[in-house]
Amino acid sequence: MYHNPVLLHESIDALITNPDGIYVDVTFGGGGHSREILKRLSDKGKLYSFDQDLDALNNTIDDERFTLINQNFRFLENSLLMYGISSVDGVLGDLGVSSHQFDAAERGFSTRSDAPLDMRMNVLQNLDAKKVINDYEEEQLADLFYYYGELREARKLAREIVHYRKNKKINTTEDLKKIFSYIPQFKQNKFFAQVFQAIRIEVNQELDVLKEMLQQSFNVLKKDGRLVIISYHSLEDRLVKRFLKNGMFEGEPQRDIYGNYTKAFELLKSKAIIPTVEEVEQNSRARSAKMRVGIKV
């Protein structure tokens, strides 16, 4: 079951400036955003949507203006070129794990279900959560818990995993949770959400892939084209915010003698756009969502 898309009308209102234009939805999922984009396009408009998850192919849209590309969005630029597209009017990305992926217990994304340690968005890739947890060195585990899960006790967690797996392989989400059964009940939800997030980001290289997609979006956008990104945790949002501000992820842009630098984007709004209280009540996934919109200079 694919649930309601987050910030649906706000995102499409910000994205569509030319009904005859070419648009890209880099996170097709259940197709909610894509369907709304198609409603706003004329007969001349085109939409190219990306999703590496094979399950998403079941939601394809029968519309001659629509093309679904079964690829990771890190291949945005080359994939569009294969269809003869070198520039577009807008790019939309609704990041993170879809409700469907969380609800499909066997995928191992959810902290609520006992399932194999998997967490692959692309089920054909080799690296999965089981390999990360059982094969990574202690220092590697500590780093990913610290940087991707923002867990202060990262070294302790890594040490406990390595100690546990000396005697028994960690195969399921419950096996993993058992190692940390000492965590107080009132802290468990947030703690395990951070642990699972860290592993999932590593398995899917989410932050590296996001950087590649943002840079390629800039390359393919026409002047005044819109980049609309919805993110769900601070690691993603910081990258998006920084990129929209100066086209970089780290370091400082070169400035002229007056202290000015060439902007990549103008912001549609200076602050992130967040869902209404009503939307959060109807769709819990919207709770942590932040949307940022850049207009290519």
Question: Does the annotation flag 63 for ligand binding?
Answer: no
118 to each of 70, 142, 159, 172, 175, how far by Cα in Å? Answer: 20, 19, 21, 8, 13
Question: Does the annotation flag 216 for ligand binding?
Answer: no
3-state secondary structure 232-290: CCHHHHHHHHHHHHHCCCCCCCCCCCCCCCCCCEEECCCCCECCCHHHHHHCHHHHHCE
Question: Do 294 and 214 contact (CB within 8 A), yes or no?
Answer: no
Residue 222: alpha-carbon gap to chain centroid: 23
Question: Does the annotation flag 180 for ligand binding?
Answer: no
Question: Does the annotation flag 33 for ligand binding?
Answer: yes
Question: Does the annotation flag 197 for ligand binding?
Answer: no
Annotated binding-site positions? 31-33, 51, 73, 94, 101
Annotated binding-site positions for S-adenosyl-L-methionine? 31-33, 51, 73, 94, 101
